[in-house]
Amino acid sequence: MQQKVILLTGASSGIGRETAIRLARQGHHVYGAARRLQLLQSLQAQGVHPLQLDVTDPSSCAAAVQAVVSAEGRIDVLVNNAGYGHFGAVEDVPLSEARRQLEVNLFGLACLTRLVLPHMRHQHSGRIINTSSIGGHFTSYLGAWYHVSKYAVEAFSDALRMELRPHGIHVVLIEPSSIRTPWGEIAAQHLEEVAQPASPASPSSSSSPSSSVPLVPFLLARFHRAPPFPPLPLPPLTVTPVPTSTRAGAPPPSSAASGAPA
């Protein structure tokens, strides 16, 4: 098997850490990147080169890609794995946090992709592997911004695949289901932060979080146990069929007969 030069984000924990170790064992030149350098140092003994990286910082992204290319002269694979889940009711999650969710899960991935592309196009080869989620296909309670980010990764990757096919660069989507990692704890932490009940000193009831609904403790318990997308004990939704005569494009309810204005 040909040895590949691989830059893998989110290598300090969970899926990324295990993947980095496994790829290094297979003989690939793996550069494992994340913010927590002390966690990455322990990967060195497993043959992974640690790289400090904050995917929300364009200069940090540029330095990481440059470090790989300077050391190896090429970059064959980018694994965009860094990510987290910010859960909470839309009304409660500040837009600054929503933007941060997209900065990490979407724009960080896009930033690194744009930086590796000139090298991959020059090589006429490469592979970009983006970690989405089954949550890139369906939406769960209180997960608006996480799912927005993963749906966006799906669309971004599908478009990129078309663009890059003529250059011999492949784009792959990974859509994990529930995997036991610190992801659940981090999602629970964010949910707890935004779902705090209003303090007694809070004068206005309108400032009380809308998400203080029975779902929050339920979701928290499930996050702490790891699966991010639990089945919820809710009654099934009842959908009232729309009469065909009122659907868009359908003729109005026999106005001539009723005498109502068109």
The strand pair at 126-131 and 77-80 is best described as parallel
> Per CB under 6 A, which of residues 136..175 are in contact with ligand NAP?
none
Q: Please tell me the distance from the alpha carbon of residue 178 to that of residue 258, in angstroms, as a whole number.
A: 56
Position 230 contacts ligand NAP (CB under 6 A): no
DSSP string, 165-179: GGGTEEEEEE-----
- Which position among 9, 113, 140, 157 is part of the footprint of ligand NAP (CB under 6 A)? 9
Position 208 contacts ligand NAP (CB under 6 A): no
Nearest Cα to 13, choosing from 170, 150, 131, 163? 131
Place of tokens 């592997």: 129
User: Least distance to ligand NAP from the beta carbon of 235, Å?
Assistant: 27
Nearer to ligand NAP, 119 or 147 (CB): 147
Position 79 contacts ligand NAP (CB under 6 A): no
Position 16 contacts ligand NAP (CB under 6 A): yes
Q: Is 84 a catalytic residue?
A: no
Position 5 contacts ligand NAP (CB under 6 A): no
Nearest Cα to 28, choosing from 46, 41, 54? 46
Nearest Cα to 37, choosing from 52, 56, 54? 52
Task: Give CB contacts under 8 A, 24+ apart, made by 19-27.
Answer: 19/79, 19/81, 20/46, 20/48, 21/46, 21/48, 24/48, 26/1, 27/1, 27/3
Largest alpha-carbon pair distance within the chain? 83
- Which position among 63, 102, 148, 179 is part of the footprint of ligand NAP (CB under 6 A)? 179
Nearer to ligand NAP, 134 or 215 (CB): 134
- Which position among 7, 30, 48, 104 is part of the footprint of ligand NAP (CB under 6 A)? 104
User: Least distance to ligand NAP from the beta carbon of 100, Å?
Assistant: 9
- Residues sharing a CB contact under 8 Å with residue 69, sequence separation 6 or more, in sequence order: 75, 119
Q: Please tell me the distance from the alpha carbon of residue 246 to that of residue 262, in angstroms, as a whole number.
A: 13
- Which position among 186, 191, 194, 216 is part of the footprint of ligand NAP (CB under 6 A)? 186
> Per CB under 6 A, which of residues 49..68 are in contact with ligand NAP?
53-56
User: Least distance to ligand NAP from the beta carbon of 203, Å?
Assistant: 36
Q: What does the block give as tokens for 73?
A: 């002269």
- Which position among 4, 5, 6, 12 is part of the footprint of ligand NAP (CB under 6 A)? 12
Q: Find the catalytic residue in 31, 84, 146, 151.
A: 146
Position 19 contacts ligand NAP (CB under 6 A): no
Position 82 contacts ligand NAP (CB under 6 A): yes
- Residues lying near ligand NAP in the complex (CB under 6 A): 9-16, 34-36, 39, 53-56, 81-84, 104, 131, 133, 176, 178-179, 181-183, 186, 228
Residues classed as catalytic: 146
